Amino acid sequence: MHDIRAIRENPAAFDAALSRRGVAPVSSEILAIDEARRAKILEAETAQAEANAAAKAIGAAKAAGNEDEFNRLRAEVSEKKADIARLQDEAKAEDARLHDLLMGLPNLPHDDVPEGEDEDDNVEIRRWGTPREFDFAPVEHFEIPAAKPGMDFETAAKLSGSRFVLLSGAMARLHRALAQFMLDFHVENHGLAETITPVLVRDEMMYGTGQLPKFGEDSYKTTNGWWLIPTAEVTLTNIVNGDTVEAATLPRRYVAHTQCFRSEAGSAGRDTSGMLRQHQFEKVEMVSVTHPDESEAEHQRMTDCAEAILQALELPYRTVVLCTGDMGAGARRTHDIEVWLPGQNTYREISSVSTCGDYQARRMNARFKPEGGGKPQFVHTLNGSGLAVGRALIAVLENGQQADGSVTLPTALHPYLRGKTGIAADGSLV
């Protein structure tokens, strides 16, 4: 959602910022609707003032015995009331048009976001770790002997169709261990508040974080109107939906481990093998609600939090800044963290950390009261994966695979697996 006052003050700058995201100039349409809306409101207020004056004069005409004037004024008041109702309805219609138009527009990219059309134009900012050199040809996660007994795609397809997996045995335990480790790490080392949220939400919550109105095809909706969350960003961010909080309570930092659901609309033919792109998956999600003055520093802090998980798991990664053409609609700037997958011989996304400014807050009407007093202001919101659990499982398996088909597991996970340090080629924890 955008500030209409800012658009009025500098429409050219608004159009220029949106043009970086490939959006055609729209400020003239916005301002025309806004002008029509305000004109209707002014007409309604003028008609109300005239009706009030006529109403006062009715008593005087009656007292003076002027029946003609009395009847004329009564007719005028009745006419004005009809005009007022019509003008208010027309103003509401223009307001709805303006609201719908603004709600459908993406966020304005930060000035430092690189120009570009797709992922090829993203800019790498750092790397950590050195990809391991194998003395054999590494394979993808679903081809590793240790993983095969506990990673069943055929049964999942029988149960639910394509892009699902049934994990069992060591794979299920490793997946659970990864989620538990991430939660503990964020709570104990980063001070995030562990939160358990619903995975079913109302329309308003999807509008609040920007999944609606344009991206509904990317999510699943139940027959009775709930949406299955694509990520806990939706629930965690909307905790402050409609609220005005005290500035002293900021920043609010949340973390949640949830099931996530995505239709993967538009991804036909991409990553069809293995667990990389699924309709149902799990994530440990971070969300921060901050004072506007703190959101830039918070973006880097959250990126550091996600990177710290990969470092603790001893997984090489690189961090990139997404270009304007690859960035999500709600973000002002996004850092993607890409983990090294030796089976694919490339880096793949495992976390996206985005700062949204006040874009989501305006959609949610989420504000804070300044400590020194004054008018409430919109909070800033940020979100990031910390991390995608399934993709972390893939990375652990591929980076830890051995020539004999077994997998060596990161030291950080050993306490979560009762001291087990690896998975044998037959799929058992050892």
CATH of the domain at 238: 3.30.930.10
Residue 235, CA distances (Å) to 98, 145, 194, 198, 257 in order:
26, 38, 13, 7, 11
- 231 known member of a binding site: yes
Of 59, 76, 103, the last residue of a domain is 103
Write down the catalytic residue from 21, 74, 252, 277: 277
Rounded Cα distance, 271 and 269, in Å: 7
User: Residues 299, 335: contact at Cβ < 8 Å?
Assistant: yes
Annotation says 20 is catalytic:
no
Which residue out of 262, 301, 333, 363 is catalytically annotated?
Answer: 262
Question: Which of these, 33, 12, 213, 7, lies nearest to 106 by C-alpha position?
Answer: 213
Residues 84 and 162 in one domain: no
Apex 136 CA angle, 131 and 137, nearest 5: 75
Q: Let me know if 391 is a catalytic residue.
A: yes
163 is catalytic: no
pLDDT truncated to tens, each residue of the chain (430 aa)? 899 999 999 999 999 999 999 999 999 999 999 999 999 999 999 999 988 888 888 878 888 888 888 888 888 888 989 999 999 999 999 999 999 999 999 999 999 999 999 999 999 999 999 999 999 999 999 999 999 999 999 999 999 999 999 999 999 999 999 999 999 999 999 999 999 999 999 999 999 999 999 899 999 999 999 999 999 999 999 999 999 999 999 999 999 999 999 998 666 666 778 999 999 999 999 999 999 999 999 999 999 999 999 999 999 999 999 999 999 999 999 999 999 999 999 999 999 999 999 999 999 999 999 998 899 999 999 999 999 999 999 999 999 999 999 999 999 999 999 999 999 999 999 9
Q: Which of 206, 241, 209 lies closest to 226, judged by CA? A: 206
Residues 44, 166 within the same domain: no
Q: Do residue 55 and residue 168 come from a single domain? A: no
Question: Is 264 annotated as belonging to a binding site?
Answer: yes
pLDDT at residue 353, as a whole number: 98
**Annotation marks residue 270 as catalytic:** no
Residue that is last in its domain, among 103, 131, 160: 103
| CATH code of the domain covering residue 22 | 1.10.287.40
**Domain end among 75, 103, 131:** 103
The tally of domains found in the chain comes to: 2
3-state secondary structure at position 338: strand
Alpha helices in 104-130 (DSSP H): none
pLDDT in tens, 267-288: 666 677 899 999 999 999 999 9
Note whether 159 and 52 are same-domain residues. Answer: no
The one catalytic residue among 352, 362, 398, 406? 352
Q: Are residues 29 and 156 in the same domain?
A: no
Strands (E) across 106-243 are located at 123-128, 151-152, 166-167, 193-194, 200-201, 220-221, 227-228
Find the catalytic residue in 21, 43, 349, 428: 349
Catalytic site residue from 282, 288, 391, 398? 391
Q: Contact at 8 Å (CB) between 166 and 152?
A: yes
Domain span at 385? 119-423
Task: For residue 96, list its beta bridge partners.
Answer: none
Annotated binding residue 115: no
**Is 27 flagged in the annotation as binding?**
no
Q: Do 98 and 145 reside in the same domain of the chain? A: no
Is 238 annotated in a binding site? The answer is: no
Please check whether residue 127 is in contact with residue 316, taking contact to mean a CB–CB distance below 8 angstroms: yes
Q: 113 by DSSP, 3-state: which?
A: coil
Residue 129 CB partners (closer than 8 Å, separation 6+): 310, 311, 314, 315, 316, 317, 340
Residue 108 lies in a domain: no
Is residue 73 domain-shared with residue 170, that is, in the same domain?
Answer: no
pLDDT at 64: 82
Q: Which residues of 72-109 are buried (b: 16+ CB within 10 A; e: fewer)?
A: ebeebbeebeebbeebbebbeebbebbeeebbebbbbb
Domain assignment present for residue 429? The answer is no
37 is catalytic: no
Residue 319, annotated ligand binder? no
Same domain, 355 and 213: yes
Q: Is 33 annotated as a binding residue?
A: no
- Residue 417 within any structural domain of the chain: yes
